[in-house]
Amino acid sequence: MDIAHKTAVVTGGTDGIGLEIARQLMAKGASVIVCGRRADRLAAAAMEGMEAISADLSSADGCDQLVKKLTGRPIDILVNNAGMSGNFGPGEPIDLKRTDQAIFLNLNAPMHLIGALLPGLLARQQAAIVNVTSGLAIAPNGGSPVYCAAKAGLRSFTLSLRHNLKNSNIRVIEALPPVVDTAMTAERTEKKMSAKDCAAEIVDAIVADKKEANVGMVKILRTVYSVSPALARAVMIKF
């Protein structure tokens, strides 16, 4: 896909991977609309030349509000990037309210936005839907049960959606990042990929019309999983 002169919507686009995706799409000539919750980050994104919309996508109402603000706009690229962990530690009580919010943001929100924006995307000459899942959608770890479940669900949805739209003008892309240096992973101490480098691989996949962007160390995970799913799961569950 030629990014120039396209209009892209990037959810969670005011920080981390989303912000870097937005910047790199802009650098290739796209008009970019980002959404987020924090006023200071929205203002900073606007200063960089992005259109910034306040939206909390952890509920159906928040998704509906964003869709209303996008009504009538010519959208060519939808990047479903917004996410949260919603996890709990060993022996900790499960915060069901936070769990529900995390599952909605990570899984339901992309489906809501795709459903609402699909007619417009189908009307474009060329379009792309990018769902940002995770290497943990392939094999879960033991410390992120809610996040793993939601991302695995989004991966399954993406695979099915791609088949559903295979004869259309829309390229459905799954991006599977490794551990990336963002606010969500601030407490993790292992080596992390930079958000800028992660975003570069995702944007390259959009340009190349790839079906998947296996980013960084996820390439190794995919190789191991192709040889032995059981081994991949045994390794990742301790990660």
Catalytic residues: 147
Pairing of strands 77-80, 7-11: parallel
Residue found by looking up tokens 């996410």 in the block: 83
Query: Distance between CA atoms of 132 and 57, rounded to whole angstroms?
Result: 15
Phi and psi torsions of 172, nearest 5°:
-100, 115
What's the 3-state SS for the chain?
CCCCCCEEEEECCCCHHHHHHHHHHHHCCCEEEEEECCHHHHHHHHHCCCEEEECCCCCHHHHHHHHHHHCCCCCCEEEECCCCCCCCCCCCCCCHHHHHHHHHHHHHHHHHHHHHHHHHHHCCCCEEEEEECCHHHCCCCCCCHHHHHHHHHHHHHHHHHHHHCCCCCEEEEEEECCCECCHHHCCCCCCCECHHHHHHHHHHHHHCCCCEEECCCHHHHHHHHHHCHHHHHHHHCCC
